[in-house]
Amino acid sequence: MKRFPAFDPPEYVDWKPDPALVRAFRSTIEANPERAAIVSGLSRDTKLELYRGLLRARLHDIELKRWVRTGVISKAWLGTGEEATTVGPVQALERGRDIVAPMIRNAAACCEMGMPIADMLRAYLATADSPSAGRDLHVGSFSHGVLQPISHVGDMVPVIAGIALTFKMKGERRVALTWVGDGSTKSAAAHEGTNFAAVQHLPAIFIVQNNLVALGTRLDQHHLPGTFQDWAASYGVWGLACDGNNVLDAWAATRLAAARCRAGQGPALLVAETFRMGGHATHDEREARETFPANLFSAWGKRDPIGQYEEYLKEAGWSGQELEAVEAGVTAEIERAEQEALASREKMPAGETALLGVYANGR
């Protein structure tokens, strides 16, 4: 895809495929017969839809960065480098039936569940026609199956467990999914919710999104075991590890997890390994670079989920021009959304509307 020197992590600006990593991308899927079998059944359209989702996520974030840089907003929380951990799993669900609860790093889930991109951008502008009518930049939409997260990390785990409980009680073959950051796994709510889902055999998927950092705290400072290898087993839950930078692997792992949930086999805990290529938000990108040795950024930068997937698609027969045409379509989609969202600034909410819809009966 087109690179954006003013906004991309420096590692992406002159990104070139590394042949060994391109091979590893393919062998990650081929090495596991179950995942290889379901990936080999993916249609060309679905593969392209995954690509479209990755581009949408990246370009949505670039737009927000542009807004920060030009003073439209003061700050944005981005998922740069972690797009595959969100886009693969959401596309593996039954959209229209299943429920997701994205955290701030998973904004792409909203778009992939069908929420308009303009609404995502309006949430940052706090306009009256934004999803929370200007009250909160956390975004959700019940009608699209997206729960609006609250700010407290880990708290969506018991909420998702509760939703999965209703699916089970009503005998509905639906799945509820949320992401839990490596840092958020340390919250009491995440523990309670995971354990509740485990003992009740609920159709819930928890994706531990291990991006090696929680705000300014490195994984080795908050997680003594070093990895999450034993996390699922410690709850007695079925689990899988997946490459969070490989959209096909994340898709396939979620597909397997969802099939188990629908068959009444209880929850799944997926561990997706990835890396935060920016700061916690746009305000601390420099500090984030000081938090880790530079070679970690260069190693993960080479595994850019979009660059790597483009190489896979080219090997699978797509031409550069075909991929560029897809990108042009997504770029136009984002540009339209940006114009729509900016136009909404004429509709800022009146202060007293902050009290509406908070308590029952409008009081």
Ligand X SMILES: Cc1ncc(C[n+]2csc(CCOP(=O)(O)OP(=O)(O)O)c2C)c(N)n1
Applying CB under 6 A, the residues found at the interface with ligand X are 105, 151-153, 181-184, 187, 209, 211, 213-215, 276, 280
Q: Please choose which of ligand X, Mg ion, none residue 177 contacts, taking the beta carbon within 5 to 8 angstroms, the exact cut-off set by kind.
A: none
Considering beta carbons, is residue 23 or 152 the nearer one to ligand X? 152
101 close to 178: Cβ distance less than 8 angstroms: yes
Q: Nearest approach, Cβ of 281 to ligand X (angstroms)? A: 9
DSSP for 294-325? HHHHHHHHTT-HHHHHHHHHHHTT--HHHHHH
Q: Which residue is nearest to ligand X (CB)?
A: 181
Considering beta carbons, is residue 145 or 278 the nearer one to ligand X? 278
Tell me whether strands 217-218 and 213-214 are parallel, antiparallel or unpaired: antiparallel
Q: Please choose which of ligand X, Mg ion, none residue 151 contacts, taking the beta carbon within 5 to 8 angstroms, the exact cut-off set by kind.
A: ligand X
Q: Please choose which of Mg ion, ligand X, none residue 223 contacts, taking the beta carbon within 5 to 8 angstroms, the exact cut-off set by kind.
A: none
Torsion of CA 262, 266, 268, 269, to 10 degrees: 160
Q: Nearest approach, Cβ of 143 to ligand X (angstroms)? A: 26
Q: Which residue is nearest to Mg ion (CB)?
A: 181
Q: Nearest approach, Cβ of 190 to ligand X (angstroms)? A: 9
> Edge-to-edge strand order for the sheet containing 268-273?
99-101, 176-181, 204-210, 268-273, 238-243
Residue ranges that bind Mg ion, judged by CB under 5 A: 181-183, 211, 214
Structure tokens at 286: 């420099």
Coil vs helix vs strand at 41:
coil
Q: Please choose which of Mg ion, ligand X, none residue 250 contacts, taking the beta carbon within 5 to 8 angstroms, the exact cut-off set by kind.
A: none
Q: Nearest approach, Cβ of 30 to ligand X (angstroms)? A: 29
Q: Nearest approach, Cβ of 335 to ligand X (angstroms)? A: 28
Residues β-bridged to residue 268: 205, 238
Q: Please choose which of Mg ion, ligand X, none residue 184 contacts, taking the beta carbon within 5 to 8 angstroms, the exact cut-off set by kind.
A: ligand X
- Interior angle at CA 331, CA 69 and CA 315, nearest 5: 120
